[in-house]
């Protein structure tokens, strides 16, 4: 390494050490880390690359939490609005029947409080008796119906109010989670950007080269396993449409929380691609992993979704030939890379 390049690395390392804390010679660590990246005061580009990758990985996990909270909050809000309408309708019906019950009570009061049966027995002739008996039975059935409806509407109102209250509490919880996740994403991305901003141009290029080399090493290892020899599935018609949509987005920027059409995050891209193919799938990569049918890697076919990372926080679309299309991370664009360039968790199929 030349003297100039080494001096740059030393300056960078010193600057990063200052960021870690006031103590001289302390190890660099991002805020909240439990362990330092490396002991001593000097960081190599490899250390910086690992730290940047870790921060972006953590930001992506928080992005998935943010997207999930946002989706749930939207559903809860719709449910609360629907229940509010139901409460209004039932409330109006209850008010109507309360008015009717009030009228019946006033009529009873005007008759002096004498029971209907007693008034019936005082009729002067059989014809009046029979006529009034029919009217009385109808009146009793009507009164019973009013009372029953009042009780039922009261029960419905209580049920809807309790359900609305429960959904509102969940809505508030998801809003808090969304806010916390947003803050975490922004903090981690800001930290990663700060790290990269302290590198010289040639060091940034080297940093990108290190990332590419690491990805290629993983892809080479994956290919050496012979897995590609076993993958021979053909894309379905819907899969071809999803691939066409996803590959048409190549070159567009990654943006966390985005679902297109100008920018996407990883699951936002797969969501829109499969919507374009006529299939509705979950919004987040973690829910895609949980809810969609899983298939063995050897039975993978173009259009299937490859889930990455232990927490299933990244997703890509297999396009065939051992490659995938995905939205990598902040600062990168949608691209095609080796399907094994990241650690594969599993594969799911949107179209059964």
Question: Can you give the pLDDT at residue 296?
Answer: 96
Catalytic annotation, pick one of 243, 266, 277, 347: 266
One of 241, 272, 309, 326 is an active-site residue; which one? 326
* Spatial contact of 201 and 12, defined as CB atoms under 8 Å apart: no
Reference 93, options 160, 5, 162, 17; nearest CA is 160
Q: Which residue has the higher pLDDT, 168 or 224?
A: 224
Picking from 257, 259, 289, 273, the residue whose alpha carbon sits closest to that of residue 325 is: 273
**Weakest-pLDDT range from 94-98, 169-173, 187-191, 334-338:** 94-98
pLDDT above 80 for 221 = yes
**d(Cα 329, Cα 350) in Å, to the nearest integer?**
23
Segment among 121-135, 143-157, 226-240, 283-297 with least mean pLDDT: 121-135
Q: What is the pLDDT of residue 34?
A: 32
Please pick, among 314, 329, 345, 349, the residue that the annotation labels catalytic. 314
| pLDDT for the residue numbered 167 | 78
Rounded to 5 degrees, what angle do the CA atoms 99, 101, 104 make?
115
pLDDT score for 160: 74
Alpha helices in the chain (DSSP H): 3-20, 45-110, 116-121, 126-197, 201-224, 227-230, 237-248, 266-276, 285-291
Residue 158 burial (CB count, 10 A): 10
Which tokens hold the place of 146?
């009013």
Are 315 and 305 within 8 A, CB to CB?
yes
**266 catalytic per annotation:** yes
Decide: 308 and 275 in contact? Cβ < 8 Å.
no
Say yes or no to pLDDT of 126 above 60: no
Given a cut of 80, whether residue 224 has pLDDT beyond it is yes
The pLDDT of residue 172 is 85
- Report the C-alpha gap between 32 and 35 in whole angstroms: 9
- C-beta of residue 347 within 8 angstroms of C-beta of residue 296: yes
Q: Which of 136-150, 272-286, 325-339 has the lowest mean pLDDT?
A: 136-150
> For tokens 């018609």, what's the residue?
237
pLDDT band at residue 78 using 50, 70 and 90 as cut-offs: confident
The per-residue pLDDT for range 295-318, each reduced to its tens digit, is 999 999 999 999 999 999 999 999
Taken in order 237, 238, 239, 240, the sign of the CA dihedral is positive
Q: Is 314 one of the annotated active-site residues of the chain?
A: yes
Residue 32's pLDDT band (cuts 50, 70, 90): very low
Q: Tell me if residue 56 is catalytic.
A: no
Is the per-residue pLDDT at 102 higher than 90? no
Q: Token pair 């071809």 is at which residue?
A: 240
- Which of 32-36, 137-141, 287-291 shows the lowest mean pLDDT across its residues? 32-36
When pLDDT is cut at 50, 70 and 90, the band that residue 147 belongs to is low
Length of the chain: 352
- pLDDT for residue 246: 98
- If you compute the radius of gyration of the chain from its CA atoms, what whole number of angstroms results? 34
Q: Is the pLDDT higher at 209 or at 87?
A: 209
The C-alpha atoms of residue 108 and residue 118 are separated, in whole angstroms, by: 13
Domain boundaries, the chain: 65-187, 201-348
Contact (CB, 8 A) for 351 and 279:
yes
- The superfamily (CATH) of domain 201-348 is endopeptidase domain like (from Nostoc punctiforme) (3.90.1720.10)
Predicted pLDDT of residue 144: 59
User: What's the whole-number mean pLDDT along residues 139-164?
Assistant: 68
Contact call for residues 232 and 297 (beta carbons, < 8 A): no
Question: Mean pLDDT over all residues of the chain?
Answer: 78
Can you list the alpha helix ranges (DSSP code H) found in 27-115? 45-110
CA distance 47 to 206: 12
For the segment 1-8, the average pLDDT, to the nearest whole number, is 41
* Pair 256, 265: CB distance under 8 Å: yes
Q: What pTM does this model have?
A: 0.66
Q: What percent of the chain has pLDDT over 70?
A: 71
The residue assigned the tokens 């095609």 is: 336
Mean pLDDT to the nearest integer, 129-135: 48
* Residue 293 pLDDT level (bands cut at 50, 70, 90): very high
Is pLDDT above 70 for 12?
no
Q: Is the pLDDT of residue 124 over 60?
A: no
């Amino acid at each position: 390494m030349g003297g100039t390049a080494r001096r740059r690395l030393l300056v960078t390392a010193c600057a990063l050490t200052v960021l870690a804390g006031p103590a001289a010679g302390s190890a660099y660590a991002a805020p909240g880390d439990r362990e330092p990246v490396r002991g001593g005061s000097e960081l190599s580009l490899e250390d910086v690359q690992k730290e940047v990758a870790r921060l972006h990985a953590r930001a992506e996990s928080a992005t998935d939490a943010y997207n999930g909270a946002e989706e749930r909050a939207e559903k809860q809000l719709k449910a609360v609005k629907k229940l509010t309408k139901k409460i209004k309708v039932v409330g109006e019906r209850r008010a109507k029947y309360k008015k009717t019950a009030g009228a019946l009570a006033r009529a009873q009061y005007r008759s002096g409080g004498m029971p209907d049966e007693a008034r019936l027995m005082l009729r002067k002739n059989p014809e009046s008796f029979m006529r009034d008996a029919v009217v009385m039975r109808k009146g009793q059935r009507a009164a019973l119906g009013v009372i029953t409806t009042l009780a039922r509407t009261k029960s419905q109102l209580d049920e809807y109010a309790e359900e609305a209250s429960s959904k509102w509490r969940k809505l508030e919880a998801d809003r808090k989670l969304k806010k916390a996740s947003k803050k975490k994403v922004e903090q981690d991305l800001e930290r990663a950007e700060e790290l990269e901003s302290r590198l010289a141009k040639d060091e940034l290029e080297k940093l990108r080269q290190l990332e590419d080399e690491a990805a290629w090493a993983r892809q080479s290892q994956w290919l050496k396993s012979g897995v590609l020899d076993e993958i021979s599935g053909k894309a379905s018609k819907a899969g071809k449409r999803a691939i066409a949509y996803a590959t048409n987005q190549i070159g567009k920027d990654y943006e966390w929380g985005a679902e297109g059409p100008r920018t996407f995050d990883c699951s936002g891209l797969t969501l829109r691609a499969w919507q374009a193919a006529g299939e509705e799938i979950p919004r987040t990569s973690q829910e895609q992993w949980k809810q969609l049918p899983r298939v063995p890697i050897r039975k993978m076919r173009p259009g299937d979704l490859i889930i990455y990372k232990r927490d299933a926080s990244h997703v890509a679309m297999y396009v065939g030939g051992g490659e995938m299309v995905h939205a990598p991370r902040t600062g990168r664009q949608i691209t095609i890379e080796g399907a094994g360039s990241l650690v594969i968790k599993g594969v799911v199929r949107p179209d059964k």
